[in-house]
Amino acid sequence: MSNSDINKIPLGKLLFERLSKVTKSVFGVPGDFNLRLLEQIYEVPELEWVGNNNELNAAYTADGYSRINPHNFSCLITTYGVGELSALNGIAGAFAENVSVLHIVGSSALRARAVADDGNEMDALFGTVHHLVPGKHTFRQDHDVYRKAAEAYSCYSESITEEDILQGTVQDKIDGAIEAVVANHKPGYLFVPSDVAERLVTCDLNKPLDLYKYKSKNLNDNEKKVLNLLLDKVYKSENPGFVADYFLKRHTSEVIDLLEKTNWDCYSTPASRGLCLDETLENFKGVFCNEKSPKGVFESIKKHDLVLHFGSKINETSFRYSGKNEEINNWLATQDICFLGRDFAMIGFKKELIKNISGCKVFNRFLEVLDYSKIQKIIKSKAEQSRGQLYSDSYKLGEMVMQEDRLFEQEVSYELSKNILQKGDIMLCEMSSFAFELENIKLPSEGRIICQSFYASIGYALPATVGVCKALKDYNMNNRVLLLQGDGSAQMTLQELSLFLKYDLNPMILMMNNSGYTIERAIIGATSSYNDLTAEWDWQKMLEAFGDSNKDKHETFRIGNYDELKTYISEKGTKPLDKLHMVELILDKFDYGNGLLVFLGKKSADEAM
């Protein structure tokens, strides 16, 4: 390393220089502990500060941005205690949903920490720091109390110290934070004391970030074992099926190439829609979620003598395993199924569990060494079969009886599949009753669905849509964005509507006005007051209240029946969006879609279709 490569620059500038390698926007809320740090962002013209209305919304926005950013990364900055704790729910959601978000916290000054750690109790008594909770049984405040609270929700948690500045290891911690959150698909934390942002530190701005470390490493013994087991099963199989789950999201082109070469029947999952494979492939058979799969999908997958469930993200709302269902237990117990997750493999259902592996490394090597000549017979026999329907029966919603004078969720689902969604559209769905209809929506080529279905924090989708739209704009992508938003959950995070206007972001917002919390009504308390909204809001005037009084940047529509929906679609619904569309859909408060009833066990998949 030459001397010209090593410089001394303000710590804050170094942080933003490194962030500029993996993002173009930084989200958050200013506070007195991060102000000196935020001043440094203006020294890095490649970055834009995007100020949110509160810290929880900032976390949701960063989550959405990371899902679209080609670097699979986002960043938010909050202030000590009151700010970072407000964001913690959003960070926990990113942790549960495996989204790479770096949370930078402006924390207490090094000099204040020194008083608390090293001074006598009288100094500590008169040296308390605001925003920091007191100790239970001592005058001393624990300046790491919030970091400890966040450890369970992060893959990386470090603070900048005096030793880092003196020993030249600040960049190591910054780069380590960025690399960790990308490599682990998880949030991480970096705490920056309020009195260090302007300190000069050594740096090497030309040093590349190592974002995908697994690509360059040899397989360990466990990974070799998994690889050999998978190859052996594939070569022996006569009718394999391939389930592409969430953790193949960084291998889309490789997955499509594999499926085009092998012609294996393939399936997506609720967590992986549009992430891992193109659902317009002729061998795509539908969305797999066990016995709760749409009609035809469960029957199809049971016909395979081998199921390769790769990129496995096993949870209640995606894999939908229920120990109570004898049919699914019998099927899984007898099916030759192999799971390859982010850090584990399982050969057979609940049989051989192999840990301490990198699923990405194993999948990469699987593709490198797969001998297609050993599966030529399978390819030929599959190609000779009659294809029949292009998609599974799960998409036959056109057979339902429409009611022209009212509007139902399944009519919206049908129109999304048949008419609204266009090539490349990105659809976000709030954790609403409609989220359980997503398996019945046919995705176009390059389309994608984003739904925080597992952590399921209502209010997530609206600010996440801000992040999605901002990432598309930052990286010059022209995808349309649709948001399926429930009226109840929208009231949680409504403030971020203002960011759509400020940054000229133009999604189509389908605001499902069903006067309350429909999932909860379907579970219990259908007419109980706790499932009602506190007030009925006027969605037609909402964006005017947020500053667009002349409607220069948005249009509004109110749709109360199926005919009005079809009119909107024919006139506006399939065209590029040059303004934000607020499309209010008036639905019945007891309109429980079939998908929700199936998930709750109140209707079988066969009864739903």
Q: Which of 498, 225, 180 has its CA nearest to residue 345?
A: 225
Identify whether 376 is part of a domain.
yes
* CA distances to 239, 295, 341, 423, 527 from 302, in Å: 11, 13, 21, 31, 40
Give tens-digit pLDDT for 136-155.
Answer: 767 778 889 999 999 999 99
Q: Which of 147, 146, 154, 145 has its CA nearest to residue 92?
A: 154
DSSP state, residue 8: E
What share of the chain has pLDDT > 90, as a percent? 64
The pair of structure tokens assigned to 204 is: 């090497």
Angle between helices 170-184 and 11-19 (to 10 degrees): 30
Question: Starting at the edge strand that comes first in sequence, how are the strands of the sheet with 481-486 ordered?
Answer: 448-450, 426-429, 481-486, 508-513, 580-586, 554-559
Residues 54 and 8 placed together within one structural domain of the fold:
yes
Burial (CB count within 10 angstroms: exposed 0-12, middle 13-18, buried 19+), residue 603? middle
Does 389 have pLDDT greater than 60? no
pLDDT-based confidence at residue 521 (cuts at 50, 70, 90) = confident
Identify whether 491 is part of a domain.
yes
* Least confident stretch, 314-328, 371-385, 462-476, 584-598: 314-328
Give tens-digit pLDDT for 105-120.
Answer: 999 999 888 777 766 7
Residues 150 and 207 placed together within one structural domain of the fold:
yes
Mark which of 211, 238, 257 sits at the end of a domain: 211
The span from the CA of 16 to the CA of 46, in Å, is 9
Does 122 have pLDDT greater than 60? yes
Identify whether 172 is part of a domain.
yes
Q: Which of 236, 178, 239 has its CA nearest to residue 21?
A: 178
* pLDDT (mean) for 574-601: 83
Mark which of 211, 245, 279 sits at the end of a domain: 211
* pLDDT (mean) for 345-367: 93
Residues 253 and 270 placed together within one structural domain of the fold:
yes
Chain centre distance of CA 119: 45
The span from the CA of 453 to the CA of 428, in Å, is 11
* pLDDT value for 244: 95
Residues 171 and 281 placed together within one structural domain of the fold:
no
**CATH number of the domain bearing residue 317:** 3.40.50.1220
* CA distances to 229, 332, 369, 465 from 373, in Å: 18, 30, 11, 45
Binding residues: 487, 514, 516
Give tens-digit pLDDT for 179-200.
Answer: 999 999 999 999 999 999 999 9
* pLDDT value for 2: 47
* pLDDT value for 97: 94
* DSSP H or E stretch at residue 508: strand 508-513
**CATH number of the domain bearing residue 176:** 3.40.50.970
Residues 222 and 153 placed together within one structural domain of the fold:
no
pLDDT-based confidence at residue 432 (cuts at 50, 70, 90) = confident
The pTM assigned to this predicted structure is 0.91
Residues 328 and 477 placed together within one structural domain of the fold:
no
Chain centre distance of CA 281: 24
* pLDDT value for 411: 80
The span from the CA of 526 to the CA of 522, in Å, is 6
Sign of CA dihedral 603, 605, 606, 609: positive
Identify whether 389 is part of a domain.
no
**Domain containing residue 18:** 3-211
* CA distances to 24, 477, 576 from 472, in Å: 11, 5, 14
Number of domains in the chain: 3
Residues 103 and 135 placed together within one structural domain of the fold:
yes
Identify whether 390 is part of a domain.
no
- Specify which residues 48 forms β-bridges with: 25
- Specify which residues 558 forms β-bridges with: 584
Sign of CA dihedral 43, 46, 50, 55: negative
Sign of CA dihedral 250, 252, 257, 263: positive
The pair of structure tokens assigned to 273 is: 């829609």
Task: Count CB-CB contacts under 10 A for residue 224.
Answer: 14
Does 504 have pLDDT greater than 90? yes
Residues 317 and 170 placed together within one structural domain of the fold:
no
pLDDT-based confidence at residue 299 (cuts at 50, 70, 90) = confident
Residues 501 and 532 placed together within one structural domain of the fold:
yes
The pair of structure tokens assigned to 207 is: 């040093």
Residues 201 and 237 placed together within one structural domain of the fold:
no
**Cβ neighbours for 299, distance < 8 A, ≥ 6 positions apart:** none
Say which residue, 65 or 335, is predicted with more confidence.
Answer: 65
The span from the CA of 312 to the CA of 247, in Å, is 6
Give the pairing type, strands 352-355 and 344-347.
antiparallel
The span from the CA of 150 to the CA of 129, in Å, is 20
| Amino acid, res. 198 | E
Give tens-digit pLDDT for 21-47.
Answer: 999 999 999 999 999 999 999 999 999
Identify whether 271 is part of a domain.
yes
DSSP state, residue 71: T
* pLDDT value for 502: 97
Task: Count CB-CB contacts under 10 A for residue 426.
Answer: 25
* DSSP H or E stretch at residue 102: strand 102-107
Q: Are 272 and 311 in contact (CB under 8 A)?
A: yes
The span from the CA of 605 to the CA of 475, in Å, is 41
The span from the CA of 79 to the CA of 551, in Å, is 35
Residues 444 and 569 placed together within one structural domain of the fold:
yes
Identify whether 324 is part of a domain.
yes
* pLDDT value for 355: 96
Identify whether 391 is part of a domain.
no
The span from the CA of 127 to the CA of 112, in Å, is 7
DSSP 114-175: HHHHHS-HHHHHTT--TTSPPPSSSS---TTHHHHHHGGG-S-EEE--HHHHHHT-HHHHHH
Binding residues for Mg(2+): 487, 514, 516
Q: Which residues of 187-244 form beta strands (DSSP E)?
A: 188-193, 200-203, 240-244
Residues 364 and 417 placed together within one structural domain of the fold:
no
* pLDDT value for 292: 78
Mark which of 174, 189, 211 sits at the end of a domain: 211
Does 604 have pLDDT greater than 90? no
Give tens-digit pLDDT for 545-560.
Answer: 999 999 999 999 999 9
* DSSP H or E stretch at residue 9: strand 7-10
